[in-house]
Each structure stands twice: as C-alpha cells, then as structure tokens.
C-alpha cells in the first residue's frame, strides 16, 4: 500500500518542480548570447509547464486548479515576454501567482472556509478545523511575503541572480516553510505517520 503513494508523491513533485528546473537549466546552458538566454528559458518554461499539465492529466486523470492557474499564467506572461522581447513580464509572473494565491486563501479565511482543505485534504489526514485555519493563514502570509521578496529580488539584481534565486531561494524556502508547519499541525490532530509536508500548488 505504500509504494503507490510514494510513486504518486514523486510524480507530483515532478509536476510541481520540473518546469522550474527546466527554466533554470535552459537559462544557464542555452547556447546563445547571454542577453537571449532568458528568452530561450522562457520558451522552455512554457513548454515544460504544458507538458506538466498533460502529464498530470495522464497520470492522475485531472489537472488541479492551482496547476491550471500556474500553467495559464506561465503561457500568458511568457508569451508576452517573447512577443515584446521584455523579460520584465516573466519576472513578474511569480509575484502575480503569489498574490493571487494569498488573496484566495485570505478570502477563504474571511468566509470561514479554509480552502486548503479542498486542495491538501489527503496530505494532512486527521487535521481538525482549527489546524486548517491556521495552516491557511500561515500560507496566505507566506505567499504575500514571497510576492514582496520576488519583487525586491528582480528589481534589484541581475537576471541570472533572479533565476538562481528561484531555484536556490524560492524552492528551499517553500519546502522549509511546509515542514515548519508540522509541529503546529501535530497539535491539531495530524496523523504524523501518513503526513507529508507539501505546498499548495506548483513552486513558482
């Protein structure tokens, strides 16, 4: 009974992180002039995101709302980046994603309907309603902070540094934050043996 869950977790990780890794690799190893690498990486990112969506549909027979939103945002912002030959748009894409997710989570809290429960219910078995509210609040704050951080990084650093930050900064921060919530969640009924720290949606 454990192997399917492990395989599913590995597949989900590939969907969440794979496109960003493709973006990173293409930006640093594309055989083009340095000024053009970000545009090659953007095209590769768009293709990888579409591939991730197709893989999700084939592997899990569904595409999550988060993945739909992230995929559409990548294609739209990436398309504008390539069309206008302006890297600002792809750099702003994570900010828009983070703000949108933070707003959705905050709206759910205001309506007393923690939306994370619908997305990650099977990931945190046994978690009570108070735990879901706290987890939703924490992620809303985290995503709002990540939006501010992304803006600060891309506006005050080189393109290569920003791309590196997405891989070596944003991804570790996201997974560390997911794991940091476990002590609080354990106090609210989380079944530790079945729980796997997870972030709500693809890593941006």
Please check whether residue 95 is in contact with residue 143, taking contact to mean a CB–CB distance below 8 angstroms: no
Strands (E) across 61-157 are located at none
pLDDT at 88: 95
* Spatial distance between the Cα atoms of 23 and 7, rounded to a whole number of angstroms: 24
Of residues 78 and 131, the one with the higher pLDDT is: 78
pLDDT at 80: 97
Residues 6+ apart with CB under 8 A from 117: 127, 132, 136
Residues 6+ apart with CB under 8 A from 109: 133, 136, 137, 140
pLDDT at 192: 55
Could you report how far apart the first and last alpha carbons of the chain are, in Å? Answer: 31
Residue 2 confidence class, pLDDT cut points 50, 70, 90: very low
Report, as an integer, the average pLDDT of 158-178: 91
Distance of CA 130 to the CA centre of its chain: 24
Q: Does residue 118 carry a pLDDT above 60?
A: yes
Burial of 147 from C-beta contacts in 10 A (0-12 / 13-18 / 19+): buried
Q: Does residue 4 carry a pLDDT above 50?
A: no
- Say if pTM beats, i.e. exceeds, 0.85: no
* Spatial distance between the Cα atoms of 1 and 169, rounded to a whole number of angstroms: 35
pLDDT at 198: 54
Report, as an integer, the average pLDDT of 134-142: 93
């Amino acid at each position: 009974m454990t192997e399917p869950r492990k395989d599913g977790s590995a597949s989900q990780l590939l969907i969440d992180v794979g496109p960003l890794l493709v973006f990173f690799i293409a930006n640093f190893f594309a055989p083009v002039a340095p000024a053009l690498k970000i545009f090659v990486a953007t095209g590769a990112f768009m293709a990888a995101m579409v591939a991730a969506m197709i893989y999700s549909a084939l592997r899990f027979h569904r595409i999550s709302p988060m993945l739909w939103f992230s995929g559409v945002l990548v294609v739209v912002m990436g398309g504008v980046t390539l069309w206008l030959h302006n890297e600002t748009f792809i750099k702003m894409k994570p900010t828009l994603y983070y703000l949108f997710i933070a707003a959705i989570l905050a709206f759910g809290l205001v309506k007393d309907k923690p939306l994370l429960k619908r997305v990650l219910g099977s990931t945190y078995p046994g978690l009570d309603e108070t735990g879901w509210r706290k987890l939703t609040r924490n992620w809303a704050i985290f995503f709002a902070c990540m939006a501010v951080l992304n803006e600060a990084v891309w506006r005050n650093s080189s393109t290569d540094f920003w791309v590196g930050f997405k891989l070596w900064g944003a991804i570790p921060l996201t997974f560390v934050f997911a794991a940091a919530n476990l002590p609080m969640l354990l106090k609210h009924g989380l079944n530790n043996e079945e729980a796997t720290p997870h972030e709500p949606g693809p890593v941006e």
